[in-house]
Every structure is written in structure tokens, then in C-alpha cells.
Amino acid sequence: MSVHARTHVRVARPSRDLGAAERFWTDGLGLRVVYRKPADGEPGAHDLLMLGLPGASWHLELVGAPDRHAEARPTDEDLLVLYLEEPVPDDLVARLEAHGGRRVTSPNPYWNEWGVTVEDPDGYRLVLCERAWTNAPDAP
């Protein structure tokens, strides 16, 4: 089978301001720049910013288009959930807020009980969950 548990995952989405997004995800959360490619004025090209952690099987790709406005259209349920397996550190939330994030209440009470939800500068939501991930059928 070509898709398996170690298949690399890329979450890609547009960003209105790659500089603000980079500060949130790197200085705020602690991700690293994995790859960066400016459009360099090429017609139809996009600015790319890929963020992740060494050895991780996932990364976040943010796309900007210098010749047109990148329309981020997040909803309250567009979530990137990180399972920390420990209480969410207050200093991490403060760092995210200091780097362009905004703490919000989730419409899903589960995330309010078990974590903290922070909107990134584009309005997409990051949930820091204190629980451990489980493959149990009742896991959200």
C-alpha cells in the first residue's frame, strides 16, 4: 500500500502576510523554516514558506501570491491540533499572542476543556491539546 502510518503530510494554505505568519509559527510556536522560495517576479509564481520540525513526518506550507491577494478563508473548524501530552504552558500561549496570535474560544467545548485555541495572523486556528493522541474510535 502506498499510504501508510509514516507517510509525510503537508498542510498547505494561503497567507495574506508571510512575514507575520512566519513570526507566529517560528518565534511563537517554535517551528523552523524548512524551505523558502520567493516568487522573484515570475508571472503566476507564488512565494512559498514551509515550516516544520527536524524529523517530523509533517510540515505546514504557506503560500503567498505577490501579484494578487491570497484569500485565506478559515472557519472556526479549520484546526491544526497538536497533542502536547501535558498541560498547555502559559508562556507558550503568551509567546504565540506576542507574535501575532489571538486566543479564542472554540465553538467545540471539547477543545476548551482539553486545550487552548489560538488564531494565527491569517485567522486559521491552532489547538494546543493537553491530551495524548489515541487511535480510539471515540477520539475527536
Cα–Cα distance between 100 and 95 in angstroms, integer? 9
Tell me what pLDDT residue 117 has.
98
* pLDDT tens, residue by residue, 18-51: 999 999 999 999 999 999 998 887 777 789 999 9
The whole-angstrom distance between residue 85's C-alpha and the CA centroid of its chain comes to 18
The CATH homologous superfamily for domain 9-129 is 2,3-Dihydroxybiphenyl 1,2-Dioxygenase, domain 1 (3.10.180.10)
Q: Would you kindly state where each structural domain of the chain is located, as residue ranges?
A: 9-129
Tell me what pLDDT residue 101 has.
98
Tell me what pLDDT residue 121 has.
95
Tell me what pLDDT residue 140 has.
56
The residue ranges of the chain whose pLDDT is under 50 are none
Tell me what pLDDT residue 48 has.
93
The set of cell numbers assigned to 90 is 502559559
Measured CA distances, 94 to 84, 98, 99, 111 (Å): 16, 6, 9, 18
Burial (CB count within 10 angstroms: exposed 0-12, middle 13-18, buried 19+), residue 27: middle
